[in-house]
């Protein structure tokens, strides 16, 4: 099921406003609390609501949007969140050093999109042993290296929407290639495996001829697009399941002879893709709201820190304006399902 656009809208400001009202209500209620009750409250240890936000890489519009959601939620929760991260999206060692620093700083929680599902595990386990709550979002680690994973949408739903779009755009027949993020990215790799299975089972006339990696670097992704077109002269379509890759590929295609001849779809942000939808380079692509993902991760981390949830299946918590969420199997929380953007709706979105 596709997500309605109201779920994708920019509701962070409304959430902040509504929660400020709630907070105002709370503080006036607090003045009428009995002295004994306030003494008990003041002796309870304050929750450590400091957090480190560690995306795959800095300078990625997708994670910048997630961070807006993080900050909006932090404002409501009274949390302090600091963003750090490597320059490149294929640098797990860089992530490890930021994780170790956060552990030394004794933050309450780490919010991490993993560059590698196992390479950052030891440092995350050390963080958890030191009392830091670990929430992965967007790109997961092995399940025992974190307290919770905030999943943007089901992996099979993300895979299917991309295969459906390319099949539709190339008449369900011909050569396609995948331009991914880094070769070790947990999220892209899971989606690629499921896309391959879907292609094999349901699209016998589509042939996946190549999978290349732009490492979520704009120039590398641009160059890999050019190389794909040269090595596969019969290419009919490219799927890029990364916002960095699809934007770079669209920029390349829009100025090339292949514009309008080689289809491009995948996962992109409306703001980065708008001009390529309008100039006819791209027909349709998909995503979820990265801001909501950041908001949800922050509320989940706060609930873990405060001991309101432990990450056990069935645990429930509220994520402000996004509503109530329930922890599912394997300590995961699901945001929703991907949404498709095209020329008819893209102007309704601003992220």
Q: Which residues are near ligand RAM by CB under 6 A? A: 56, 60, 62, 113, 138-139, 181, 187, 216, 242-244, 267
C-alpha distances (whole Å) from 47 to each of 144, 205, 295, 320 are 24, 57, 19, 18
Beta carbons of 334 and 342 less than 8 angstroms apart? no
- Residue carrying the six token digits 């490492």: 215
Which lies closer to ligand RAM via its Cβ, residue 108 or residue 268?
A: 268
Least distance (Å) from ligand RAM to the CB of residue 295?
A: 16
- From the CB of 187, what's the least distance to ligand RAM, in Å? 5
Q: Which is nearer to ligand RAM, 305 or 335 (CB)?
A: 335
Whose CB is nearest to ligand RAM?
62
Task: Give least dist CB 290 to ligand RAM, A.
Answer: 8
Q: Which is nearer to ligand RAM, 56 or 251 (CB)?
A: 56
Nearer to ligand RAM, 116 or 138 (CB): 138
User: For residues 283 and 302, what is the distance between their CA atoms, to the nearest angstrom?
Assistant: 40
In the complex, least distance from residue 271 CB atom to ligand RAM, rounded to whole angstroms = 13
CB of 191 to ligand RAM, least distance (A): 9
**Helix, strand, coil distribution of the chain in percent, nearest 5:** 50, 20, 35
Query: Minimum distance from CB of 342 to ligand RAM (Å)?
Result: 18
Complex with ligand RAM: residue 62 or 317, whichever CB lies closer: 62
Give the burial string for 312-335 (b: 16+ CB within 10 Å, else e): eeebebebbbbeebebeeebbbbb
Compute the distance between CA of residue 210 and CA of residue 205 in angstroms, rounded to an integer. Answer: 15
Q: Min. distance of Cβ 42 from ligand RAM in angstroms?
A: 42
Query: Minimum distance from CB of 149 to ligand RAM (Å)?
Result: 13
**For ligand RAM, the closer CB: 19 or 60:** 60
What would you report as the CA-atom Rg of the chain, rounded to the nearest whole angstrom?
A: 21
Whole-angstrom distance, CA of residue 238 vs CA of residue 166: 8
Whose Cβ is closer to ligand RAM: residue 147's or residue 216's?
A: 216
For residue 21, give the 3-state DSSP assignment.
helix
The CA-atom distances, in angstroms, between 186 and each of 56, 66, 190, 208, 338 are 11, 18, 6, 20, 18
Angle at 277 between CA 220 and CA 178, to 5 degrees: 40
Q: Measuring CA to CA, how many Å separate 259 from each of 220, 278, 280?
A: 20, 13, 8
Q: Whose Cβ is closer to ligand RAM: residue 103's or residue 242's?
A: 242
Burial 155-171 (b: 16+ CB within 10 A, else e): bebbbbbbbbbbbebbe
């Amino acid at each position: 099921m596709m997500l309605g656009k109201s779920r994708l809208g920019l509701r962070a400001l409304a959430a902040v406003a509504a929660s400020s009202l709630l907070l105002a209500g709370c503080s006036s209620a607090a003045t009428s609390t009995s002295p004994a009750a306030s003494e008990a409250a003041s002796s309870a240890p304050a929750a450590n609501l400091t957090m480190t936000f560690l995306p795959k890489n800095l300078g990625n519009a997708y994670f910048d949007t997630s961070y807006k959601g993080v900050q909006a939620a932090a404002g409501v929760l009274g949390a302090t969140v600091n963003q750090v991260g490597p320059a490149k999206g294929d640098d797990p060692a860089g992530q490890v050093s930021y994780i170790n620093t956060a552990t030394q700083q004794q933050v309450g929680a780490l919010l991490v999109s993993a560059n590698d599902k196992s390479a950052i595990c030891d440092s995350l386990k050390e963080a958890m042993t030191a009392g830091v709550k670990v929430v992965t979002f967007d790109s997961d680690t092995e399940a025992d290296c974190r307290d919770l994973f905030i999943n943007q949408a089901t992996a099979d739903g993300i895979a299917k929407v991309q295969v459906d779009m390319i099949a539709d755009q190339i008449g369900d027949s011909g050569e396609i290639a995948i331009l991914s993020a880094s070769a070790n990215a947990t999220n892209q790799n899971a989606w690629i495996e499921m896309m391959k299975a879907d292609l094999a089972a349901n699209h016998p006339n589509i042939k996946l001829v190549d999978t290349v990696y732009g490492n979520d670097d704009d120039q590398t992704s641009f160059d890999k697009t050019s190389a794909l077109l040269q090595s596969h002269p019969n290419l009919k379509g490219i799927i890029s399941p990364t916002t960095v890759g699809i934007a770079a590929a669209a920029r390349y295609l829009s100025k090339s002879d292949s514009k309008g001849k080689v289809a491009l779809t995948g996962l992109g942000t409306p703001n980065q893709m708008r001009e390529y939808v309008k100039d006819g380079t791209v027909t349709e692509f998909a995503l979820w709201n990265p801001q909501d993902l950041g908001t949800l991760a922050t509320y989940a981390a706060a609930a873990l820190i405060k001991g309101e949830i432990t990450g056990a299946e069935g645990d429930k918590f509220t994520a402000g304006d996004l509503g109530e969420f329930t922890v599912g199997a394997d300590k995961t929380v699901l945001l929703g399902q991907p949404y498709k953007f095209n020329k008819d709706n893209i102007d309704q979105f601003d992220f």
